[in-house]
Amino acid sequence: MKYWLMKSEANCYPIELLEKEKNQTTYWDGVRNYQARNFIRDEMKVGDKVIFFHSNGAPSGAAGVCEVVKEAYPDFTAFDPENPHYDPKSKKDNPAWMMVDVKLIKKFKNFVSIESMRQNKKLQKMQLLKQGNRLSVMPITKEEFEVIVSIGNL
DNA sequence: GCCAACGTTGGC
DNA sequence: GCCAACGTTGGC
Protein backbone atom coordinates (compact mmCIF):
# COMPACT_ATOMS: atom_id res chain seq x y z
CA MET A 1 0.00 0.00 0.00
CA LYS A 2 1.23 3.48 -0.87
CA TYR A 3 0.69 6.85 0.77
CA TRP A 4 -0.04 10.06 -1.08
CA LEU A 5 -0.67 13.73 -0.61
CA MET A 6 -3.14 15.46 -2.91
CA LYS A 7 -3.77 19.18 -3.07
CA SER A 8 -7.10 20.82 -3.50
CA GLU A 9 -7.62 24.54 -3.53
CA ALA A 10 -9.44 25.38 -0.36
CA ASN A 11 -11.71 27.91 -2.05
CA CYS A 12 -12.45 25.55 -4.91
CA TYR A 13 -13.06 22.14 -3.34
CA PRO A 14 -12.50 22.09 0.43
CA ILE A 15 -12.77 18.91 2.48
CA GLU A 16 -16.15 20.09 3.76
CA LEU A 17 -17.54 19.50 0.28
CA LEU A 18 -16.23 15.96 0.24
CA GLU A 19 -17.92 15.40 3.59
CA LYS A 20 -21.24 16.23 2.00
CA GLU A 21 -20.85 13.96 -1.02
CA LYS A 22 -22.85 10.79 -1.30
CA ASN A 23 -20.83 8.06 0.41
CA GLN A 24 -18.31 10.84 1.06
CA THR A 25 -16.78 9.85 -2.25
CA THR A 26 -15.77 11.94 -5.24
CA TYR A 27 -13.74 11.82 -8.43
CA TRP A 28 -10.48 13.75 -8.34
CA ASP A 29 -10.66 15.77 -11.53
CA GLY A 30 -8.56 18.56 -12.94
CA VAL A 31 -5.05 17.16 -12.62
CA ARG A 32 -3.27 18.71 -15.62
CA ASN A 33 0.33 17.93 -14.94
CA TYR A 34 2.15 14.96 -16.42
CA GLN A 35 4.12 13.96 -13.37
CA ALA A 36 1.00 13.99 -11.23
CA ARG A 37 -0.92 12.17 -13.97
CA ASN A 38 1.70 9.43 -14.05
CA PHE A 39 1.39 8.86 -10.32
CA ILE A 40 -2.39 8.60 -10.68
CA ARG A 41 -2.28 6.39 -13.74
CA ASP A 42 0.57 4.07 -12.84
CA GLU A 43 0.88 3.84 -9.12
CA MET A 44 -2.33 4.58 -7.27
CA LYS A 45 -4.18 1.49 -6.14
CA VAL A 46 -7.43 0.86 -4.35
CA GLY A 47 -6.77 1.06 -0.63
CA ASP A 48 -3.93 3.58 -0.88
CA LYS A 49 -4.17 6.32 1.73
CA VAL A 50 -4.26 9.99 0.81
CA ILE A 51 -3.66 13.15 2.81
CA PHE A 52 -6.20 15.74 1.66
CA PHE A 53 -4.25 18.99 1.54
CA HIS A 54 -5.74 22.46 1.27
CA SER A 55 -3.58 24.66 -0.93
CA ASN A 56 -3.76 28.32 -1.77
CA GLY A 57 -4.11 29.82 1.66
CA ALA A 58 -7.18 30.14 3.82
CA PRO A 59 -4.92 28.61 5.34
CA SER A 60 -2.80 25.92 3.70
CA GLY A 61 -2.43 22.55 5.39
CA ALA A 62 -3.51 18.96 5.79
CA ALA A 63 -7.25 18.67 6.35
CA GLY A 64 -7.93 14.95 6.52
CA VAL A 65 -7.42 11.45 5.22
CA CYS A 66 -8.96 9.74 2.20
CA GLU A 67 -8.69 6.37 0.58
CA VAL A 68 -8.49 5.46 -3.10
CA VAL A 69 -11.66 3.55 -3.98
CA LYS A 70 -11.39 3.44 -7.77
CA GLU A 71 -8.25 3.24 -9.85
CA ALA A 72 -7.33 5.48 -12.78
CA TYR A 73 -9.86 6.14 -15.53
CA PRO A 74 -10.16 9.02 -18.01
CA ASP A 75 -10.84 12.45 -16.55
CA PHE A 76 -14.02 13.25 -18.46
CA THR A 77 -13.96 16.92 -17.47
CA ALA A 78 -11.15 17.33 -20.06
CA PHE A 79 -13.64 16.47 -22.84
CA ASP A 80 -16.22 19.10 -21.93
CA PRO A 81 -15.69 22.55 -23.49
CA GLU A 82 -17.91 24.04 -20.81
CA ASN A 83 -15.74 22.70 -18.02
CA PRO A 84 -13.02 24.94 -16.56
CA HIS A 85 -10.62 21.99 -16.83
CA TYR A 86 -11.38 21.45 -20.53
CA ASP A 87 -8.34 20.42 -22.56
CA PRO A 88 -8.79 19.95 -26.32
CA LYS A 89 -5.57 17.91 -26.44
CA SER A 90 -7.27 15.10 -24.55
CA LYS A 91 -9.31 12.90 -26.89
CA LYS A 92 -11.87 10.34 -25.89
CA ASP A 93 -10.03 7.64 -27.81
CA ASN A 94 -6.72 8.69 -26.32
CA PRO A 95 -7.27 10.49 -23.02
CA ALA A 96 -4.39 12.62 -21.81
CA TRP A 97 -5.65 12.98 -18.27
CA MET A 98 -6.74 10.47 -15.67
CA MET A 99 -8.44 10.53 -12.32
CA VAL A 100 -9.19 8.29 -9.38
CA ASP A 101 -12.11 8.18 -6.97
CA VAL A 102 -11.43 8.91 -3.32
CA LYS A 103 -13.52 8.38 -0.22
CA LEU A 104 -13.15 10.45 2.92
CA ILE A 105 -12.01 8.42 5.90
CA LYS A 106 -11.68 11.20 8.42
CA LYS A 107 -11.50 14.94 8.58
CA PHE A 108 -8.84 15.95 11.10
CA LYS A 109 -9.98 17.33 14.42
CA ASN A 110 -6.86 19.47 14.33
CA PHE A 111 -6.09 21.07 11.00
CA VAL A 112 -2.36 20.50 10.36
CA SER A 113 -1.09 23.82 9.03
CA ILE A 114 1.76 23.91 6.56
CA GLU A 115 3.60 26.01 9.09
CA SER A 116 3.47 23.26 11.69
CA MET A 117 4.56 20.79 9.04
CA ARG A 118 7.59 22.94 8.26
CA GLN A 119 8.50 22.98 11.92
CA ASN A 120 8.28 19.21 12.29
CA LYS A 121 11.66 17.52 12.01
CA LYS A 122 10.18 14.32 10.65
CA LEU A 123 8.52 16.09 7.74
CA GLN A 124 11.53 18.05 6.49
CA LYS A 125 12.11 15.86 3.45
CA MET A 126 8.63 16.16 2.07
CA GLN A 127 8.50 17.35 -1.51
CA LEU A 128 5.55 19.48 -0.49
CA LEU A 129 7.77 21.74 1.60
CA LYS A 130 10.41 22.34 -1.05
CA GLN A 131 10.49 25.86 -2.36
CA GLY A 132 8.51 26.39 -5.50
CA ASN A 133 6.84 23.03 -5.32
CA ARG A 134 3.76 22.94 -7.53
CA LEU A 135 3.13 19.24 -7.84
CA SER A 136 -0.47 18.54 -6.86
CA VAL A 137 -0.17 14.78 -6.37
CA MET A 138 2.90 13.30 -4.70
CA PRO A 139 3.98 10.19 -2.86
CA ILE A 140 4.82 10.45 0.84
CA THR A 141 6.35 7.91 3.18
CA LYS A 142 4.42 5.83 5.68
CA GLU A 143 6.19 7.65 8.49
CA GLU A 144 5.27 11.07 7.11
CA PHE A 145 1.68 9.93 6.73
CA GLU A 146 1.56 8.70 10.31
CA VAL A 147 3.17 11.83 11.71
CA ILE A 148 0.60 14.04 9.97
CA VAL A 149 -2.28 11.81 11.07
CA SER A 150 -1.10 11.79 14.67
CA ILE A 151 -0.94 15.59 14.75
CA GLY A 152 -4.30 15.96 13.03
CA ASN A 153 -6.09 13.52 15.24
CA LEU A 154 -4.95 14.66 18.64
C1' DG B 1 -2.93 40.93 -4.09
C1' DC B 2 2.03 40.13 -4.69
C1' DC B 3 5.48 37.76 -6.85
C1' DA B 4 8.94 33.91 -7.19
C1' DA B 5 9.18 29.60 -9.13
C1' DC B 6 7.68 26.54 -12.17
C1' DG B 7 5.73 23.95 -16.51
C1' DT B 8 4.35 24.72 -21.16
C1' DT B 9 4.33 26.83 -25.57
C1' DG B 10 6.00 28.20 -29.87
C1' DG B 11 9.26 30.68 -32.98
C1' DC B 12 13.40 29.83 -34.85
C1' DG C 1 15.95 20.97 -29.75
C1' DC C 2 16.88 25.43 -27.70
C1' DC C 3 15.17 28.95 -24.91
C1' DA C 4 12.47 33.30 -24.16
C1' DA C 5 7.92 34.46 -23.22
C1' DC C 6 3.94 33.38 -21.13
C1' DG C 7 0.36 31.66 -17.91
C1' DT C 8 -0.34 29.36 -13.56
C1' DT C 9 0.48 27.96 -8.90
C1' DG C 10 0.55 28.76 -4.22
C1' DG C 11 2.76 30.56 0.08
C1' DC C 12 2.79 34.66 2.20
* In chain A, % of residues over pLDDT 70: 100
Q: How far is the CA of A120 from the C1' of C1 (A)?
A: 43
What proportion of chain A, given as a percentage, has pLDDT over 90?
82
Mean pLDDT lowest for which of A8-12, A63-67, A104-108? A8-12
A100-120 average pLDDT score: 95
**What average pLDDT does range A142-150 have in this prediction?**
96
Kindly give, in sequence order, each residue whose CB lies less than 8 Å from that of residue A93, ignoring residues fewer than 6 positions away. none
Total count of domains within chain A: 1
Assign residue A48 the CATH number of its domain.
3.10.590.10
Q: Which nucleotide is nearest to A87 (CA to C1')?
A: B8
Domain that holds residue A125: 3-152
Q: Does residue A131 surpass a pLDDT of 90?
A: no
Instruction: Report the predicted TM-score, pTM, of the whole model to 2 decimal places.
Output: 0.92
Residues having Cβ less than 7 A from any atom in strand C? A 7, 9, 32, 55-57, 60, 114-115, 118, 133-136
pLDDT in tens, A55-65: 987 789 999 99
